[in-house]
Chain A
Amino acid sequence: MRLTCPLCGERDRREFYYKGDAIALNRPAPDAGTDAWDDYLYLRDNPAGVTKDLWQHELGCSAWIVVERNTVTHEVLSTALASDVKKATK
């Protein structure tokens, strides 16, 4: 498997650390309530199809990356710097 780091280019999967769903970007407010925090921390979809998750270019530039990929075909559809994605949602 190969992923394209927006800063370093296309690299082998072994250079990356996998965290999980990109929902991790959407941290609720402290007073958002139990359900919102439960969703954020524990509840995950398990889609057969397109998913977005977070990887870190750990053995490269340390960038956290939002990877959009298809769990069925293994296609990598897009990659973007997590910091850019986060800033854009504000």
Chain B
Amino acid sequence: MRVTGKGLINRDKQISFSFDGKSYNGFEGDTIASALLANDVRLMARSFKYHRPRGPLTAGSEEPNALMTLHSGARQTPNVRATAQEIFSGLEVRSQNNWPNLERDVMSVNDMFSNFLSAGFYYKTFMWPRAFWEKLYEPIIRRAAGLGALSGLHDEDMNEKAYAFCDVLVIGSGPAGLMAALTAARSGADVILAEDDSRFGGRLLSEVEDVDGKPGHLWVDDVIAELSAMDNVRLMKRTSIVGAYDQGTYGAVERVSGHLRGAHADAPLEVFWRISAKQSVLAAGALERPVAFPMNDRPGIMTASAVRSYLNRWGVAPGKRVAVFGNNDDAHRTARDLAAAGVEVAALIDSRPDSGPSGDFPILTGAEVIDTKGRLGLKQITVRTNAGMQTISADCLAMSGGWNPSVHLTCHMNGRPVWDDKLLSFVPKDGAIPGMTVAGAAQGVMSTAGALQSGLEAAKTALAAVDAKVADVTAPQAEDAAYNIAPLWQVSGKGRAWLDFQNDVTTKDVKQAAAENYQSVEHMKRYTTQGMATDQGKNSNVGALAVLADATGRGIPETGTTTFRPPFTPVAMATLGAGARGAGFAPQRFITSHDMTVKAGAPMIEAGLWYRPSYYPEKGELTWRESTDREVNMVRNHVGITDVSTLGKIDVQGPDAGAFLDFVYTNMFSTLKVGRVRYGLMLREDGFVMDDGTTARLGENHYVMTTTTAGAGEVMKHLEFVHQCLVPDMDVQFISVTEQWAQFAVAGPKSRVLLNRILDSEIDNDSWPFMACGDVSMGGVQGRLFRISFSGEHAYEVAIPSRYGEALYAALLEEAKALDGGSYGMEALNVLRIEKGFITHSEIHGRINAFDIGMERMISAKKDCIGKTSAARPGQVAQDRDRLVGLKPVTPSQKLMAGAHFYNVGAEATRENDQGYITSVCYSPTMKSYLALGFVKNGPNRMGEKIRMVDALRGVETLCEICHPVFMDQEGEKTRG
């Protein structure tokens, strides 16, 4: 019910929204919770485990109960806290975790069996039989217990990532935060003020008190107006600082358009910020804790500070007849605010025996609430006093068990809060986060005047740390009352007393955990699930610890402490992963012939970040094999072209370039003649093969290295490492030029004929023999030509600056077609190289050394190189290692399978009998047979031997013959021809 004359809402702007299909009105500035309470709706949710009827417990982002689902369809968003979500016109809100509806939830039957569902229930009941857990128990439990559901549709909302930098990050904008921000800003520091709420001001928006001689919220307005006008200040409301990390890095979530959906359809929903702050001031305030008395979870029972927030900030009385129960002076403040606003206060129940006079309402001292009634909302409370029991009718109960400083962020780097006996709560450990100063209620300073002064001092500390001069600022006049509290952790009586409202953990569960010897707080948490819901126990951890301490006969500090991990408030996965969805998941690298290739209908496959053509289907071809076989025959008999720009190209220059390459390759490059290319093998320092490729010497001090497509990044890093960390005196420089050059393989008997139609000056076998390289001109554009072959054919690779790549590809393709040739894709390229026994990363997969691939003689004896010492270890050159061989089926039409393993004929296919495995397979149209490369124990000494290939996964078994890995033209005559 609205209270006339109260609240900071805009009563001129009425907003209509729906809850469970029914339309309600609120005002601009309302949250869902405040608007529903204004409409006398108290029942807003069902609890997680027992499906208990629930209303809001709080008025902020720490809310455990009032979780709701917004929107429908793809935008459906579950588990939104009604106490933080602002309403806007047309907002569609639904309750969750109930069926068929909120009032009659069938699953509330769980509540009747609560004796069986207590701590450890799942562990004890659903242990056996083990196999039932995954298929039967877990799905049923998951359906019965739970929160809101996702739509299952593709998320249409857009989120963003952003970075910010500042001298001083102020977290929270209550009196302490505002004073800190004002002091730092006036001193000229770069300031970011982050506020979780939709409005700056913190508790000053919810209390009736003056600051600087004016109502608190007006002082807030003045400070914000001053800060807004300053260039060195960034004000970020609706921004939760969710994590504190090393070296002053903070994670933050800014809610940009969730409060005005539809109006700004193109704005991101949320922005995930990484804020780098030289210093920070944590002024996150404190959270009031509930009291664990029997049946304390009914709709209408909420924290006293929440009642004051609804009354003073939103102009809502959460009930017509409100009772107040607490152990500290804030209970009195609540009763006084209510009475002053004309709301009937049924009684003020103070657990302390000697509470002084308060206001014009009945006061029961030394009293406790021991029971409540009202199925879907509070109707009556039972109070135990020194004089006996009495029942009081009330539809709202404001409870205050004291305040917990918001220490959460100070725990994110393993800082354990320390117990304060006077506050009866934990306060941050000093220096828990380097560069962070804690101020105000977060530090346990509970009065407004104290908070203002504490914010000012914290700013001074931060400014000193960044060597800034402090402007002359004084804190304004404000309330400075002492905070008086007496312990009240639980109230004995019949019925369950809730601690963790979100996970349905009661005092009984904690006591049971202690009785079953889960006495460490960490064990108790996991056994009961206390504090493990999305609110991370913000409202309940301290209370649960106190109950555990009592049950185990220890003091609270001896029992343990609370800790919190990021994020401070739940963060949507979509926000964390902003931008990394669909095509944004990984960058895409395109070859210059990409568009023409896609237009030709070639299916593209991913190779790292690159996209490469699989094959080029022609009319009438029904399978990839038909296209691939044709392309292989085309290269073997005529000519084919394919884009090889994805191979890594590294330009190496300098007087020591040759010596450097000698050190990173197993073989010699300083002796390579200018104008020649050589195949090189590169090892890791542990002796295993890192990468391979050809390197061309273009000049005395100039080489161009090629790497495999997959190995390009690793090799570049490796070269930098070797140069900077091992041989920094070598005068050599290198840079990746992969993107700068488009490169095409031209392969087949007619390759030179084709090239001579493109090149400005013709070449022949004498001017350009096998393994020659050099500059060429094509249409007046200077490029490079390398006579190298990955197919075993007479072949070249021609390179041109990337901007001419597409034009050159088009010209090559046109001439190729005139010679009965054309484009070939990765499938054909793979067949061509397997037929010729060339290796790729399928073979050099990280556990293979030079000896294994028969290249041990490539490790030059004349010099040291990376990996040489390790490669010589006895185990690295053992005859029975898995070594490279070719394999063909005894019956050519029988299939070979990549990944299949080998066993001797007559031996059982078991791990102990394993003889090796297949790494590459193709159907060879040239040999009219399946062919494979693989590794077999002592392989090179077993040529001609029959061996069983068994693919246990796909149920294929083929008898094979071990053979030389080069299946055709072992002398290389075609290549040289």
List chain A positions with a Cβ less than 8 A from chain B.
Answer: 1-3, 12-13, 17, 19, 24-25, 27-28, 30, 34, 37, 41, 54, 56, 58, 62-64, 73-76, 81-84, 86-87, 90
Q: Is B132's beta carbon under 8 Å from chain A? A: no
A34: chain B residues within 8 A (beta carbon):
873
Q: Shortest distance in angstroms between B274's beta carbon and chain A's nearest beta carbon?
A: 7
CB-CB nearest 4 A-B residue pairs = A83-B728, A2-B247, A1-B246, A83-B724
A56: chain B residues within 8 A (beta carbon):
717, 720-721
In chain B, what residue has the closest Cβ to A28? B869
Contacting pair B724 A81 (CB below 8 A): yes
Contacting pair A2 B717 (CB below 8 A): no
Cβ contact of B729, chosen from A27, A37, A87, cutoff 8 A? A87
Q: How far is the CA of A29 from the CA of B247 in the complex (A)?
A: 39
Cβ contact of A76, chosen from B247, B274, B720, B721, cutoff 8 A? B247
Chain B, residues 433-461, CB within 8 Å of chain A (1/0): the string is 01000000000000000000000000000
Q: Is B868's beta carbon under 8 Å from chain A? A: yes
Q: A17-B717, A30-B868 are in contact. Are A2 and B724 (CB under 8 A)?
A: no
Contacting pair A41 B686 (CB below 8 A): yes
In chain A, what residue has the closest Cβ to B866? A27
A17: chain B residues within 8 A (beta carbon):
717
B206: chain A residues within 8 A (beta carbon):
none
Chain B, residues 861-875, CB within 8 Å of chain A (1/0): the string is 000100011100100
In chain A, what residue has the closest Cβ to B868? A30
B869: chain A residues within 8 A (beta carbon):
28, 30, 37
Contacting pair B248 A62 (CB below 8 A): no
Contacting pair B724 A86 (CB below 8 A): yes
Q: How far is the CA of A83 from the CA of B722 in the complex (A)?
A: 10
Chain B, residues 545-569, CB within 8 Å of chain A (1/0): the string is 0000000000000000000000000
Q: Shortest distance in angstroms between A82's beta carbon and chain B's nearest beta carbon?
A: 5
Contacting pair B720 A2 (CB below 8 A): no
A25: chain B residues within 8 A (beta carbon):
725-726
Contacting pair B870 A58 (CB below 8 A): no
Q: How far is the CA of A86 from the CA of B724 in the complex (A)?
A: 8
Q: Is B249's beta carbon under 8 Å from chain A? A: yes
Q: How far is the CA of A25 from the CA of B685 in the complex (A)?
A: 12
Residue among A19, A28, A64 with most chain B CB within 10 A: A64
Chain B, residues 703-733, CB within 8 Å of chain A (1/0): the string is 0000000000000010011011110110000
B279: chain A residues within 8 A (beta carbon):
none
Contacting pair B724 A63 (CB below 8 A): yes
B868: chain A residues within 8 A (beta carbon):
30
A75: chain B residues within 8 A (beta carbon):
434
Q: Is B804's beta carbon under 8 Å from chain A? A: no
Q: List 8 A-B contacts (CB under 8 A).
A: A2-B247, A2-B249, A12-B163, A17-B717, A64-B725, A74-B413, A82-B728, A86-B728
B729: chain A residues within 8 A (beta carbon):
87, 90
Q: How far is the CA of A27 from the CA of B726 in the complex (A)?
A: 7
Q: Is the interface of A mostly helix, strand, loop or mixed?
A: mixed
Q: Shortest distance in angstroms between A17's beta carbon and chain B's nearest beta carbon?
A: 7
In chain B, what residue has the closest Cβ to A65? B724
In chain B, what residue has the closest Cβ to A42? B686
Q: Shortest distance in angstroms between A16's beta carbon and chain B's nearest beta carbon?
A: 12
In chain B, what residue has the closest Cβ to A19? B721
A81: chain B residues within 8 A (beta carbon):
724
Contacting pair A30 B728 (CB below 8 A): no
Cβ contact of B245, chosen from A1, A63, A83, cutoff 8 A? A1
Q: How far is the CA of A75 from the CA of B246 in the complex (A)?
A: 8
Interface residues of B in 818-850 (CB under 8 A from A): none
Contacting pair A2 B276 (CB below 8 A): yes
15 further interface pairs, Cβ-Cβ under 8 Å (given A12-B274, A74-B246, A86-B726): A3-B247, A12-B163, A12-B276, A17-B717, A37-B869, A41-B686, A41-B870, A64-B720, A64-B724, A64-B725, A76-B247, A83-B724, A83-B728, A84-B728, A90-B729
Contacting pair B276 A64 (CB below 8 A): no
Total A-B Cβ pairs within 8 A? 67
Cβ contact of B249, chosen from A12, A30, A83, cutoff 8 A? A12
Q: How far is the CA of A90 from the CA of B686 in the complex (A)?
A: 24
Q: How far is the CA of A83 from the CA of B786 in the complex (A)?
A: 35
B413: chain A residues within 8 A (beta carbon):
74
Residue among B274, B276, B413, B725 with most chain A CB within 10 A: B725
Q: Shortest distance in angstroms between A1's beta carbon and chain B's nearest beta carbon?
A: 4
Q: How far is the CA of A87 from the CA of B730 in the complex (A)?
A: 11
In chain B, what residue has the closest Cβ to A54? B725
A24: chain B residues within 8 A (beta carbon):
721, 725
Cβ contact of B246, chosen from A2, A37, A54, A83, cutoff 8 A? A2
Contacting pair B725 A86 (CB below 8 A): yes
Q: How far is the CA of A82 from the CA of B870 in the complex (A)?
A: 24
Contacting pair A83 B725 (CB below 8 A): yes
Interface residues of B in 845-898 (CB under 8 A from A): 864, 868-870, 873
Q: A30-B869, A37-B869 are in contact. Are A64 and B721 (CB under 8 A)?
A: yes
In chain B, what residue has the closest Cβ to A57? B720
A3: chain B residues within 8 A (beta carbon):
247
In chain B, what residue has the closest Cβ to A4? B247
A82: chain B residues within 8 A (beta carbon):
724-725, 728
A84: chain B residues within 8 A (beta carbon):
728
Contacting pair A2 B248 (CB below 8 A): yes
Contacting pair B685 A41 (CB below 8 A): yes
B726: chain A residues within 8 A (beta carbon):
25, 27, 86
B873: chain A residues within 8 A (beta carbon):
34
A1: chain B residues within 8 A (beta carbon):
245-247, 249
Q: How far is the CA of A84 from the CA of B725 in the complex (A)?
A: 9
Interface residues of B in 707-766 (CB under 8 A from A): 717, 720-721, 723-726, 728-729
Contacting pair B728 A87 (CB below 8 A): yes
Q: Shortest distance in angstroms between A28's beta carbon and chain B's nearest beta carbon?
A: 8
Q: How far is the CA of A41 from the CA of B717 in the complex (A)?
A: 18
Q: How far is the CA of A64 from the CA of B716 in the complex (A)?
A: 12
A30: chain B residues within 8 A (beta carbon):
864, 868-869
Q: How far is the CA of A8 from the CA of B206 in the complex (A)?
A: 48
Chain B, residues 199-215, CB within 8 Å of chain A (1/0): the string is 00000000000000000
Q: Shortest distance in angstroms between B728's beta carbon and chain A's nearest beta carbon?
A: 4
Q: How far is the CA of A76 from the CA of B726 in the complex (A)?
A: 24
Q: Shortest distance in angstroms between B847's beta carbon and chain A's nearest beta carbon?
A: 15
